A and B are shown apart, each in its own frame.
Chain A
Amino acid sequence: MRFLRSRLPAAALCLCLGWWLWRGLFFSCCELDGPAAHYVANTASETGASNIVSAILFDYRGFDTLGEATVIYTTVCGVALMFSRSRFRRSGWGLSFIVRRGLGLVVPFLMLYAFSIVIMGHLTPGGGFQGGAVFATVTILFCIVYGSSFEASRISPKTKETLESSGALVFTLVGLFGLAQGSGFLSNIGAGFPAGSLGSLMSAGSIPLLNFAIAMKVGAGLSTLFYSMVKILEDPVEGPPPEV
């Protein structure tokens, strides 16, 4: 009872906040104003991208995206540093034969899905970050189902490092190209990138390039993050357990 009474003010506050948000959702007006109205009206003509979110992320606010990518890079560096020398107990050697075969069937479709999210980031919902996260999920599934040594033998940690760094490099180089053209860091159509026709695959200037750079960066980064947490769980001396 004391337990309930101590939580009562917090529960009342949560209910009030929830009612407030609910009212705001269903009883507010639906007119856009300020920058939102400008983005909805002018994105197609200014950037050539049909996905407004992607246009904002990689064109209007491209420098913020570079900062976010740097945050992820710093996080990955910190985790890899923290888990570089310690040794914990062994967790597992992968799962059974059925799960291994099943994952083998699913993985090509997962990769295709990730690739389509990245390559059509300027047309449909999605983009570099989401596609990279799906790539990272595939490598995490490898780690869990086949064991992390298999994952390291297929995609070596060195390759991931190179991928992540080259993603950051491509992003910065595209930005510097705009600077060299005299129209500002990360500028898109103004720097001479072709806008293409709205809605086609080859459109929106530098946005697909930046999508690929971010996908490489996020995919390799999150994959390294997970791998550095599980790699020490397996003891190579002990050997795998007998097949069940």
Chain B
Amino acid sequence: MTVYLVGFICAFLVFTAIVAAEAEDILSSVITLSVFGVLLAILFALFRAPDVALTQAIINSGLVTSLFLVAYSQTEKRREFDSDRKDDLK
């Protein structure tokens, strides 16, 4: 049972990590990263490391997400740079 649960969470971890790395929009990237953090916290709790799970849940889904969002709202978005990059990736 636990092996299947761990495998399921690991698969979702990989999925959210890929989405966070490859998403075009920075905002959805940040949100996916916080989902990644919550899943990782569940995994730590399953592996009987509640201290690390607590830290991971608070830091990653609380502090890091809010700091990323503030950094996102304070920086200028350069549209021409983004479109250049999209062309480059194709």
Point out residues on A near B: beta carbons under 8 Å. 3, 18, 22, 25-26, 51, 53-54, 88-89, 91, 117, 125-127, 129-130, 133-134, 136-137, 140, 144, 222, 225-226, 229-230, 233
Contacts and interface: CB of A to CB of B under 8 A. Distances in A.
B contact face: mostly helix, strand, loop, or mixed? helix
A134 B62 CA distance: 9
Contacts of A53: 51
Given A3-B90, A140-B62, A129 B55 contact: yes
Contacts of B6: 25
9 contacts: A89-B74, A91-B73, A134-B62, A136-B63, A140-B63, A222-B63, A226-B67, A226-B70, A229-B71
B88 to A, nearest CB: 10
A26 to B, nearest CB: 7
Contact of A91 (B47, B51, B74, B90): B74
Interface residues of B, number: 22
Contacts of A130: 51, 54-55, 58
Contacts of B14: 18
Given A88-B74, A226-B70, A117 B54 contact: yes
A133 B55 contact: yes
Contact of B51 (A125, A226, A229, A230): A125
Given A3-B90, A226-B70, A126 B63 contact: no
Contacts of B58: 130, 133-134, 137
A49 B74 CA distance: 45
Contacts of B73: 91, 233
A54 B52 CA distance: 11
Nearest to A79: B67
A146 to B, nearest CB: 15
A157 to B, nearest CB: 17
- List the 9 closest A-B pairs by CB distance, nearest first: A125-B50, A137-B62, A53-B51, A133-B58, A125-B51, A130-B54, A88-B74, A229-B70, A91-B73
